[in-house]
Structures are given as C-alpha cells and as structure tokens.
C-alpha cells in the first residue's frame, strides 16, 4: 500500500512541474481579457467544470462579474464579454457548441487546455496550455501517475488561484477587503 506521504509527494511534484511550464505570457494575456470583459462566462464538463466554478467564484470575490453557462441567472453574452472554456482535449462536444455560439455573438473566447491544435482552436481568441499528459503524448507533457485527468483538473484550479492572486497584486487589493464580496447568507 502506498503511503500518504508518498502519494502527496507525487501529486505536488506533478503540480509543480506542470504549473512551472505554463507560458506566463499566455496567462497575462488571459488576465488582460478578463480585465477588459464586462462579464466573464465559464464552460466545461465534469471535474473541469468544478474547477471552473471555483475560479468563477474567486474572480467574483475580486469584483469580476462571472457566470457559469447553464446557471439559472445566466445573462446574455455580448461582444463585450469573455467565455473561458476549460477542456483538456479541446474536443468535448458541449464546450465546443458553446464556444461556437459565443462567437456568433462576437464574444471573445479563451481556451484553457492541453492541445493548441484541437477543434476548439477554430473558435478561440486566446489559449493557455496546461502541459499535462494527453492523447498526443508530446514529449513536453508532464506525465501523471494520478487517475485519468486529475492533474489537468488540479492544475486548472491552481492556475485560477494564481490568476486571482496576480489580479489582487496588480490592483493592490487588500485581502481583508475581499470579504465584502463573500457570500453572507451562510
């Protein structure tokens, strides 16, 4: 049986290798797009969607108007808005359909995934590559011992937290002031 210490070392080493190999210029471009947008929408499926919901919540704490596609109070997307698509492969049907639809309304689309040459590239204005193992088996991909796409989903969540912290520092936000945006009906 593997020890807790052993598997946590595996996970943190994989995360460190992955996060350190994300192109910082691509991340800065995504932050610029978030800052320009009136509203930021998120779409993904499965555990990727769970990571995106966490990112949307954290950005809402920073005062960004965020919406998850399909939520009951989702407003219309416009040409002043940004859709952030999370899809490792860039081939998942639902996010592809939503990205295509967003482009019909002239919204900007950013894709966070593993494959810059996926079908999603037809609809995206910007791309942030998380270099985790994919079906392509590129040599620069970080191999993972974790089940399925756990490393991508974890890296996506931490990328979102890195983006939030970069925005906090860029805007000189005092961390304590963020509580005014935190849910208070708990």
pLDDT surpasses 80 at 166: yes
**Cα gap 105→180, rounded to integer Å:** 33
**Cα gap 66→82, rounded to integer Å:** 10
Name the catalytic one among 14, 153, 174, 180: 153
Active site residue 33: no
pLDDT surpasses 80 at 100: yes
Count CB atoms within 10 A of the CB of residue 43. 26
Domain segments of the chain: what residues?
Answer: 4-172
* Residues 6 or more apart in contact with residue 12 via CB below 8 angstroms: none
| pLDDT tens for each residue of 128-158 | 999 998 766 677 788 887 888 899 999 999 9
Choose the CATH number for 4-172 among 3.30.1490.390, 2.40.50.140, 3.40.50.720, 3.40.50.10490.
Answer: 3.40.50.10490
pLDDT, mean of residues 96-106: 98
Banded model confidence at residue 184, pLDDT cuts 50, 70, 90: confident
**Cα→Cα distances 87→9, 28, 49, 149, Å:** 26, 19, 9, 11
**Cα gap 51→27, rounded to integer Å:** 17
pTM of the model: 0.93
């Amino acid at each position: 049986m593997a020890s807790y210490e052993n598997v946590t070392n595996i996970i943190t080493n994989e995360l460190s290798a992955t996060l350190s190999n994300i192109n910082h210029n691509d991340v800065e471009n995504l932050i610029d797009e978030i800052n320009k947008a009136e509203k930021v929408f998120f779409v993904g499926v499965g555990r990727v969607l769970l990571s995106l919901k966490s990112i949307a919540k954290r950005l809402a704490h920073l005062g960004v108007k965020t919406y998850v596609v399909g939520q009951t109070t989702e407003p219309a997307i416009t040409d002043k808005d940004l859709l952030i698509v999370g899809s490792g492969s860039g081939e998942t049907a639902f996010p592809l359909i939503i990205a295509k639809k967003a482009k019909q309304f002239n919204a900007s689309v950013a894709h966070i995934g593993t494959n810059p040459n996926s079908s999603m590239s037809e609809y995206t204005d910007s791309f942030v590559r998380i270099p985790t193992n994919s079906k392509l088996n590129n040599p620069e991909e970080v191999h993972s011992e974790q089940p399925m796409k756990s490393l991508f989903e974890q890296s996506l969540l931490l990328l979102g937290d890195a983006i939030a912290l970069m925005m906090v520092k860029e805007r000189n936000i005092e961390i304590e002031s963020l509580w005014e945006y935190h849910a208070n009906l708990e």
